[in-house]
Structure 1
Amino acid sequence: MLPRSAFPLLLLNMFLANLSMGLVIPIVPELLEMFSASGQAAGYLVSCFGLTQFLFSPFAGNLSDRYGRKPMIITGLILFAISNLLAAFAGDLTLLFVSRLIGGIGSAALVPAIIAYVADITEDAQRSKAMSWLGASMTSGFIIGPGVGGLLAEWGIKMPFFASASVGLLAMICSMWMLPEPLSPEIRRLRQSVQDKKDNIFRQIGLSVKSRYFILLLIVFAMTFGLTHFEAIFPLFVVQGYGFTTQQIAILLTVCSLIGTLNQVLLTDRITRRFGEKRVIVAMLLLSAFTLASLLFSGNYYYVMIITMLFFSFNNILRPTINTLLSKEAGEDQGFVAGMNNAYTSLGTIFGPLLAGILYEIHIDLPYLFGAFVLLVSSLVSVRKLNKKSSSTSTNPLTGSINQ
């Protein structure tokens, strides 16, 4: 059984990590105007968060295996608070970028440790449901972030950052006192005595390519690419293309994220039990591609709300399903796999907004067309690779043993 005091805190911490990623999105147009920056900087602001998240995630995942989950969770929450406070007091675009870079490091420390923590305290039978709840907090945090940011901005453009920093500090204090360490001292001492030379991120990515879960990591990248592709330029797209106001954007994103999260909690475990994780992954990728492209069909406010709600729902179901399969494949290397999960998420966070900003400058429809194309290709590749993977063997990247 899950410790009652631990699991809600893990959900809250995961929510806060991803909330900070999306918090800045609806106020980007005003921030760019305040700092006299170009529209392309919108994509860069989101991408720079993913850059440091990518660089530090595998290293942080290994640290959580060797020194414990709790220290990394506390470290991540502290860095998030610092990041948001810097953003709140930023007087120019440079300091705002610095704050986002620090936030990425905080995510690298926090997210892999939380995923590994849940894997530590759950049996295989529980893991699908636990990962569903964890995925709900992960995706809803990132998706609710823009809505909350837009609503809080009514009291001042910097208010979202102050609110996020305050809640992050509160979560850190609660975690210090109430969150138990799942790894025993003996296991940590044993892992610390092992000489580990695999902390280099590029070496770890090379190892992940040879692993049995590589296709799942690619799907993580594609899913994050599509989601960040959507969110990075969504406010600019609906303002320029459809004439939406900031308040309309905030309400739309908040409503859609809440419905998407509710659908995830109610449906993920049921449909994965009935159809299996692999079929659900393929279907959610395909449906996500269709809804992303469907945003271009009409500028009616309620039509956009329905399409956005469906897109969020499909993404919310996809994330925990992938996490469940990854945790099953990880074996004893939960920290490493969780770190690589976060690293591939970071790659999607880097290249999704970056390319969306570039394509947006060419034509406002191109980001959604290209994002839909990436998700569609991923769905087609998954049909073949996931069916083959169940009957194949591969080498464990950390131990060199063969996994069946």
Structure 2
Amino acid sequence: MKKSIKDQKTVLLILLSNLFIAFLGIGLVIPVMPSFMNIMHLSGQTMGYLVAVFAAAQLVMSPFAGRWVDRYGRKKIIIAGLFLFGVSELIFGSGTNVWVLYTARVLGGISAAFIMPAVTAYIADVTTLEERPKAMGYMSAAISTGFIIGPGVGGFIAAYGIRMPFYFAAAIACIACISSIFILKEPLTKEQFAEISANTKHTSFFGDVRRSLNPLYFIAFAIVFVLAFGLSAYETIFSLFSDHKFGYTPKDIAAIITISSIFGVVVQLFMFGGMVDKLGEKKLIQICLITGAILAVASTLISGFWLVLTVTCFIFLAFDLLRPALTTFLSRSAGKEQGFVAGMNSTYTSLGNIVGPAAGGILFDVNINYPYLFAAVIMVIGLGITVMWKERLQEEIPE
């Protein structure tokens, strides 16, 4: 039975903590990666491959994880994801061979594929349609906060040893895993799971991909890909762009990213639910795409630290609001297929995260403004795709 957010604070706190911990763990190793790279004598190409392997593993595993969430239960997949995340960080931190690092990154990608759809489906199961946007806003804020705090925590812990942040990430994942075992309960009854499981047994990886092309889902999934593609291309190039064009120091760049991220988190926590209630997911998504496209172009024309900071704050906010708006939209349309939809959401996000940085890097070598202009074009394409919702999707999505 669905209850109000106030009536299940403990459950939501555990779910949001799980996401926060997973993304804190990813963020806290960022400051030590250059030093770790030197100790291990790794090339830049190898580091790039390690990033790609994580995204590729998440991409391949996400559809399977989505089906397993529906078949075996939300709680089991969350616990499995947290356990694998802890193991992957432990292996990476203690690794002395590059192939051990690749193994750790593959496990990390699999863990991400497990955690995201399982938590998304769990939250969709226990919240009402009216309160779901607020819950998805909290979920997005937990992810963003983990990324914001992670690098700072990692830099502090690294004072005790270059491998300590990895061990710390493994430890907090273990704590999250144990707390989930004892506090979380499966949100659906055995009868509900039996019905969903009966449907998922007849599906396959390629069947899920074909199902994602259904007009009910595909337009939203296409925008998920566009968002991940544009955002990853923008964020990947941001530090290089700021360094080459404005001569900003790492401290300047860190300040811009941190302030912009905190601004986005505050708006998500306190305003996202009200914005969805007032505008609806579709209109909010369209406003964010228009804003993102305009500001991406503006980023190539402006100068001055405070103006750059202001523009970056609002473009990050547009991206931060797009994520939960799309997730809420998809969860409303999913009905009893929350696991499948959350899994495919993760798949299309991973695909965008693989292609976006590569395209951004290639364009940056041609002209430093091209990645931002390209991101703007991609967002305009996404805006054009949303126009089809009026004809196809709005009639099909249950109220």
Task: Give TM class, smaller chain.
Answer: 0.7 to 0.9
- Separation in structure 2 between the aligned mates of residue 291 and residue 222 of structure 1, nearest angstrom: 16
- Separation in structure 2 between the aligned mates of residue 234 and residue 151 of structure 1, nearest angstrom: 24
Q: Residue deviations 1:296-315, cap 9 Å, x none?
A: 33454433332222122111
Residue 15, structure 1, aligned to residue 20, structure 2: yes
Alignment match, 1:360: 364
Contact 2:230 2:356 in 1 (8 A): yes
Q: Note the C-alpha offset of 1:245.
A: 3.5
Gaps of 5+ in 1: 395-402
> Equivalent residues in 2 for 1:323-402 (5 A)?
323-382=327-386, 384-393=387-396
Contact 1:32 1:41 in 2 (8 A): no
Contact 1:60 1:108 in 2 (8 A): yes
Structure 1 residues 298 and 166, CA, compared in 2 at 3 Å: closer, same or farther? farther
**Which residue identity does 2:263 align to in structure 1?**
I
SS at match of 1:368: helix
Q: Residue deviations 1:36-83, cap 9 Å, x none?
A: 555555654433222111111111111111111111001111111122
Q: Note the C-alpha offset of 1:134.
A: 1.5
Structure 1 residues 357 and 28, CA, compared in 2 at 3 Å: closer, same or farther? farther
Gaps of 5+ in 2: none
SS at match of 1:213: helix
Contact 1:65 1:188 in 2 (8 A): yes
Alignment match, 1:315: 319
CA-based RMSD = 2.8
- Separation in structure 1 between the aligned mates of residue 246 and residue 95 of structure 2, nearest angstrom: 31
Of residues 165, 169, 193, the one that matches 2:174 is 169
Structure 1 residues 322 and 25, CA, compared in 2 at 3 Å: closer, same or farther? same
Structure 1 residues 20 and 129, CA, compared in 2 at 3 Å: closer, same or farther? same
**Which residue identity does 1:388 align to in structure 2?**
E
Of residues 98, 101, 106, the one that matches 1:101 is 106
Alignment match, 2:216: 212
SS at match of 2:130: helix
Structure 1 residues 143 and 227, CA, compared in 2 at 3 Å: closer, same or farther? farther
Is the deviation greater in 209-218 or in 12-21? 12-21
Q: Note the C-alpha offset of 1:393.
A: 4.6
Structure 1 residues 250 and 385, CA, compared in 2 at 3 Å: closer, same or farther? same
- Separation in structure 1 between the aligned mates of residue 162 and residue 392 of structure 2, nearest angstrom: 48
- Separation in structure 1 between the aligned mates of residue 276 and residue 303 of structure 2, nearest angstrom: 34
SS at match of 2:388: helix
Q: Note the C-alpha offset of 1:374.
A: 1.0
Structure 1 residues 86 and 372, CA, compared in 2 at 3 Å: closer, same or farther? farther
Contact 1:220 1:341 in 2 (8 A): yes
Alignment match, 1:128: 133
Residue 83, structure 1, aligned to residue 88, structure 2: yes
- Separation in structure 2 between the aligned mates of residue 308 and residue 87 of structure 1, nearest angstrom: 33
**Which residue identity does 2:233 align to in structure 1?**
H
Aligned length: 394
Alignment match, 1:244: 248
**Which residue identity does 2:357 align to in structure 1?**
P
Structure 1 residues 356 and 8, CA, compared in 2 at 3 Å: closer, same or farther? same
Alignment match, 1:400: none
Is the deviation greater in 82-91 or in 340-349? 82-91
Contact 2:230 2:379 in 1 (8 A): yes
Is the deviation greater in 231-240 or in 328-337? 231-240
Q: Note the C-alpha offset of 1:192.
A: 4.3
Q: Note the C-alpha offset of 1:390.
A: 4.2
Percent identity reads: 38
SS at match of 2:368: coil
TM-score scaled by length of structure 1: 0.86
Contact 1:44 1:354 in 2 (8 A): no
- Separation in structure 1 between the aligned mates of residue 388 and residue 152 of structure 2, nearest angstrom: 36
Contact 1:327 1:337 in 2 (8 A): yes
Q: Residue deviations 1:169-211, cap 9 Å, x none?
A: 22112111111211223333454455723231x3312211124
**Which residue identity does 1:297 align to in structure 2?**
L
**Which residue identity does 2:126 align to in structure 1?**
I
Q: Note the C-alpha offset of 1:156.
A: 5.5
Of residues 273, 288, 291, the one that matches 1:287 is 291
